[in-house]
Amino acid sequence: MSNELFLLALAVGAGLLALWIHARFPGIAPERMGKTMLHTGIAFVFLRLIPGHGESTPAVFISVFLFVLPALVYALLCSIWMLRLVQTALGVTR
């Protein structure tokens, strides 16, 4: 599997996990814009703090699944929450 294909699978998987979490646990979404923006900021700080390249293949995979995947899922989940709040503010019905 090439690096590009793995990255695509990781991104799609993270997006599907974020959608599942949003659908399965709707009560965890913050109701106020300030809290949502705080969560979004924290999520993107987590993405910036992801460690660099590992020296061995197992170290890279451990890093990806322990740090990158959860941070990406959290960032995408926060994006879903932000989109939901913007829709509510604009009066768009579901």
- What's the rounded Cα separation, in Å, for the pair 20 and 10? 15
Q: Which structural domain, as residue segments, surrounds residue 85?
A: 3-90
Tell me if 64 sits within 8 A of 26, measured CB to CB: no
Measured CA distances, 1 to 13, 28, 75, 94 (Å): 16, 36, 25, 39
* Token code pair at residue 90: 């604009």
Q: Count of CB atoms within 10 A of residue 35's CB? A: 13
Q: Can you give the pLDDT of all 94 residues of the chain as single tens digits? A: 788 998 899 999 999 999 999 999 989 999 888 898 899 899 889 888 877 766 777 878 888 888 889 999 999 999 999 999 888 888 886 6
Tally of structural domains, the chain: 1
